[in-house]
Amino acid sequence: MTGGFDPSIHPHRRRNPLTGEWVVVSPQRTTRPWQGKTDDNGVADAVDYDPECYLCPGNERAGGITNPDYDSTFVFENDFAALLPGVPVPESAGGLYEVGGGDGVCRVICFSPKHDRTLATMDLDEIGVVIELWQSQLAELLEEYQYVQLFETRGAISGSSNPHPHGQIWASKFLPNEVVVELDAQRRYRAEHGSKLLVDYAEQEVDSGERVIVQNDHWLIAVPFWAYWPYETIVLPRRPIGSLLDLTTDETEALADGLRTMLRAYDRLFNTPFPYCSGWHTAPRGEHGSWQLHAHYYPPLLRSADVAKIPASYELLANLQRDLTPETAAANLRDVL
């Protein structure tokens, strides 16, 4: 039965073309009462220097190394890296006991020496320096590694172990799971349509406008049609670009402005420093043909500063599900721009 369907009130499913996964959208549940877990979001009093912070300039890190008195960005090898360079390749028994190598490198990027700064509160030229650092690290690491993941985990509720403004870089000689899935989808789309999946998607989102948060001459930031997290966003260039290394000066400046505008809307939404997991999906080495550069932002907050979405039993066992429609989420974010 399709007659009378209204996506703003009726449950339905939406497919993510990058992963093939379906998301159940249940807008009729947005008024359900909440008596579950709340969280203070890990927000502390703002100070520009914390003598106990292992990322502030001049302080000793948890691994025993002292930071330099840096005055801009700062990159160092993660003291507790998940991947290590030059490790032996394990022998795999195959079958149900297949094993692969974990060769890689993990680095930390401090975005600012100021403990209380964030990408949302930094000056545009400071954000530009961060983007340029992403680019230089990417160029260096792609010389040796197949894939480089640039990411940021912000807020205790998202899993951040330190509030100092920072991100991470993990480079690996293998393609991570999500990248394999997205690469396959983009290759198949290019073979079938002769164009890039996310370029076509961006054009359709601009034409629709209902999920767009920020757009300028070079970038689009929108809540994806298939979004799973309540206020999830995707950052897309307006022209075919495979890598952060391909950006022009104008595109870099426009990206800094677009990101800051979107992140400030996040912070205004519930009047709190908005937690999120985010990262750039930039082309794996040698894969520029079908790959389109993009960034994902996955914030957990659902209806207030202290109520977060946590994947529960049905989602872990059966199917991803959300209550708030992506269109409503986008409208809420536009209202606080």
Among 235, 232, 279, 284, CA closest to 256: 235
Of 243, 100, 81, nearest in space to 173 by CA: 100
CA-CA distance, 151 to 166, in Å (whole number)? 9
Kindly give the interhelix angle for 124-141 and 249-269, rounded to the nearest 10 degrees: 120
100 half-sphere exposure, CB direction, 13 A CA radius: 10
**Residue 319, C-beta contacts closer than 8 angstroms, at least 6 positions apart:** 22, 23, 24
Q: Give the span between the Cα atoms of 124 and 122, in whole angstroms.
A: 6
Contact (CB, 8 A) for 45 and 39: no
CB burial of residue 220 (10 Å; 0-12, 13-18, 19+)? buried
Residue 212, token pair as written in the block: 């767009």
CA angle 6, 308, 209 (to 5 degrees): 40
What whole-number distance in Å separates Cα of residue 222 and Cα of residue 39?
27
Q: Give yes or no: 294 in active site.
A: no
Give the active site residue among 115, 166, 294, 296.
166
Q: Which two tokens stand for residue 205?
A: 């989102």
Give the Cα separation of 137 and 20 in Å (integer): 31
CB 62 within 8 A of CB 79: yes
CA angle 123, 126, 131 (to 5 degrees): 125
Residue type, 325: T
DSSP β-bridge partners for residue 276: 154
Q: Which residues are catalytic?
A: 166
